């Protein structure tokens, strides 16, 4: 799939960004076109997830959670290191796809893909050193003869909702870290960047990530809300606006949340800018 996505981008064709469910690429939902801000034409197309596909993704993720928990940290790290190398090997072509879809300068897009490679390498390092702590309970009379320790266990099913402004690197942050920890991950890609999101998932799969580790869905806020409310989801990582973050929290209920909301980056529009 990665080569198909990159070839379409290289040839200036519309990139078909399919969802990835239960180990296969394909979707039944209505297609949504993405107009590239620079070219001002359709650059990618993705089918929005149907209710049935959302249910399938959640059910499969719940089913796969134990398998991912049993995958050795060393194996996870090896896969992430391979993904880091592959991101650099495909850097220029991935950067072109990112630039076409978002209108970013190619130079900035290349920097983002390099950050994807660094992120996967960092996640691999963390996978190799997941640890716990031995507690000194024998220092108190009530603890003499006892041993206490903590250890880290996977959460199970994680949900990653990614933003449009750095879609490749922030997907790498969420999916890479979740996989390093031994989770299976539901990914809801941003409507503005379905193709580069699919490319990052395809890159990981080509690098050896088991299909049980990820389900990729496209769509808008309704898809995200349905996934947030799904009972099997244990933890949600969301990056986006404060208003949407509040909606995520309401839909999630008592689930664990990691929310990165809002921003203070100013934009300067010069007097001679073509704002048409």
What is the tens place of the pLDDT at every residue in 199-216? 999 999 999 999 999 999
Compute the average pLDDT of residues 18-42. 95
Query: What's the gap between Cα 106 and its chain centre?
Result: 22
Q: What is the DSSP letter of 137?
A: G
- C-alpha–C-alpha distance, residues 31 and 47, integer Å: 4
The 3-state DSSP class for residue 263 equals coil
Q: For the segment 89-125, what is each residue's pLDDT rounded down to a tens digit?
A: 999 999 999 999 999 999 999 999 999 999 999 999 9
Identify whether the C-beta of residue 223 lies closer than 8 Å to the C-beta of residue 32. no
Report angle CA 197, 111, 191 to the nearest 5 degrees. 25
pLDDT tens column, 238-274: 999 999 999 999 999 999 999 999 877 778 889 898 8
| 8 A C-beta contact, residue 213 and residue 182 | no
Collapsing DSSP to helix, strand or coil, 27 comes out as coil
How does pLDDT run across 119-157, given as a tens digit for each residue?
999 999 999 999 999 999 999 999 999 999 999 999 999
Residues 41-52 have a mean pLDDT of 97
pLDDT tens per residue across span 219-239? 999 999 999 999 999 999 999
Residue 155 neighbours by CB distance under 10 Å: 18
Rounded to the nearest integer, the mean pLDDT of the chain is 95
pTM: 0.92
Q: Per-residue pLDDT for 276 more than 90?
A: no
Domains of the chain: 2-128+153-261 (3.40.605.10)
Range list of H helices, 207-268: 221-229, 242-252
**Which phi and psi (to 5°) does residue 146 adopt?**
-110, 160
Q: Measured on CA atoms in the order 69, 74, 78, 84, is the torsion positive or negative?
A: positive
Q: What angle do CA 250, 251, 257 make, to 5 degrees?
A: 75
């Amino acid at each position: 799939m990665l080569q198909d996505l990159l070839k379409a981008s290289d040839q200036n064709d519309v990139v078909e960004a399919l969802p990835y469910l239960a180990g296969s690429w394909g979707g039944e939902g209505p297609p949504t076109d993405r107009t590239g801000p620079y070219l001002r034409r359709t650059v990618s197309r993705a089918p929005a997830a149907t209710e049935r596909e959302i249910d399938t993704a959640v059910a499969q993720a719940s089913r796969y959670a134990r398998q991912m928990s049993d995958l050795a940290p060393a194996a996870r790290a090896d896969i992430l290191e391979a993904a880091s190398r592959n991101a650099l090997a495909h850097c220029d072509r991935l950067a072109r796809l990112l630039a076409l879809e978002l209108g970013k300068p190619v130079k900035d897009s290349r920097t983002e893909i390099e950050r994807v490679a660094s992120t996967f390498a960092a996640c691999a390092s963390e996978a190799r050193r997941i640890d716990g702590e031995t507690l000194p309970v024998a220092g108190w009379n009530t603890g003499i003869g006892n041993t206490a320790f903590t250890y880290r266990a996977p959460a199970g099913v994680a949900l990653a909702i990614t933003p449009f402004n750095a879609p490749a690197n922030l997907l790498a942050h969420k999916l890479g870290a979740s996989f390093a920890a031994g989770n299976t991950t539901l990914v809801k890609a941003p409507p503005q960047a379905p193709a580069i999101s699919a490319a990052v998932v395809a890159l990981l799969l080509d690098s050896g990530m088991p299909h049980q580790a990820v389900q990729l869905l496209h769509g808008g806020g309704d898809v995200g809300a349905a996934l947030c409310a799904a009972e099997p989801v244990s933890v949600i990582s969301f990056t986006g606006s404060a208003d949407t973050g509040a909606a995520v929290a309401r839909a999630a209920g008592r689930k664990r949340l990691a929310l990165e909301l809002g921003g203070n980056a100013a934009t300067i529009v010069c007097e001679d800018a073509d704002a048409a």
